Amino acid sequence: MIRPTYCRIDLDRLKTNYRRISRKKPVIAVVKAGAYGHGAVEVSRALESEGVKIFAVALIEEGIELRKAGIKGSILIGGSIYPFANFKEVLKYRLTPTIASLDSGRALSQMARSPYPSHIKVDTGMNRIGFGYRGAYDNIVKLSKMKNLKIEGIYTHFPCADTDRKLTLTQAENFRELIKKLKASGISPKVLHASNTAAQTFMRNTFTHFRPGLGLYGLKPFPSYSGVLPVMSFLSRIVYIRKIKRGERVSYGGDWKARRDSVIATLPAGYADGIRRELSKGGEVLIRGRRFPIAGRVCMDMTMIDVTDLPSVGIGDEAVFMGGQGKEEISASQIADLAGTINYEICCGISSRVPRVYTNL
């Protein structure tokens, strides 16, 4: 590492979060999008050492990366497979595909040489991909008769578990009724999953597996969620300090104007690294355990900080964009509120040019 800007990933915290939220229930760990920006390979290795046997990604490429890295467990591809020729890669790397249409089921059955384990996606209200639950029974029965397709799992997704408990419970009941009907017809997959981190707070004993994402990384689906610790910190160091006079301006557009003689510190990280440009107004960083405001617009590669009230500030001082320092902490959710987005996007948006440094390997 050359540039003093990096993300620190605490794998002990990851494992602690896993133990706290799983409560010994079988888990499908969601590690798509680079494990929400934390690093899919290292996160999956750590969770596999804890006993996780199924991992969920979005893309075939993500599944291949994990398999090449030595992950032995099942790797579920959560996205719809297209074009169907990509089933060749699914078979080659022993990935578990999501079947969301009869056409995709037929394509897999034709390519496989023996019954191949797959998970069927049922849409209970999100209207993204999957068999609509009203017609899912007939379609799943048809899939069950395809020669080389094995229904290992069936799942759905709760898009409003963090905001609408009543709707989520209705979705769960509709899914449960479908599973009951399928079981009566002799279709009993061993893996049934639906509950994400938010849903698990009020549906602890639903279905065979729990499918957490956010909670594993210590991120909150809603403000009152507790019991987990943030896994990622985003850090940098001061590389330049400049004294300016009252009335001088800082950064692009010149819309930040010094109200007094000021001291401005420059950090070598900007929006190309994932420092949201929306933080140009109201954003803060931690230096020596205190909060200091961003001065002017966040640049592509650099961000300026008003450190006038820190007399002993120096080159090399650590600055925390996200994480804790002393008694202060800036969370992904706090940043998301300022940026008008969600904590998922804050972590996923930290670019690949920011090294991930792993502690407690």
User: Which are the catalytic amino acids?
Assistant: 32, 252
Give the tokens for residue 297. Answer: 């617009």
Q: Provide CB contacts within 8 A for 332, sequence distance 6+.
A: 219, 230, 232, 322, 343, 346, 347
Residue in the structure block whose two tokens are 């169907």: 84
In terms of phi and psi (left: phi > 0; alpha: psi -120 to 50; beta: otherwise), the region of 36 is: left
319: helix, strand or coil? strand
Q: How far is 192 from 211, CA to CA, in rounded Å?
A: 10
As a whole number of angstroms, the distance between CA 284 and CA 317 comes to: 15
CA atoms of 232 and 361, how far apart (whole Å): 14
List Cα–Cα distances, 219 to 67, 74, 283, 334, in angstroms.
26, 25, 19, 11
Are residues 211 and 30 in contact, defined by beta-carbon separation less than 8 angstroms? Answer: yes
Report whether 192 contacts 153 (CB < 8 A).
yes
**Whole-number Å distance between alpha carbons of 33 and 351:** 11
Distance (Å) of CA 106 to CA 8, 109, 137, 147, 260: 45, 5, 17, 9, 71
Task: Please give the order of strands across the beta sheet that includes 303-306.
Answer: 240-244, 262-267, 303-306
Residue carrying the six token digits 């960083």: 285
Q: Per the structure block, which two tokens stand in for 116?
A: 């191949």
> For the chain, what's the residue count?
361
Whether the link from the prior residue into 83 is cis, omega within 30° of 0, is yes
- Alpha-carbon Rg of the chain, whole angstroms? 24
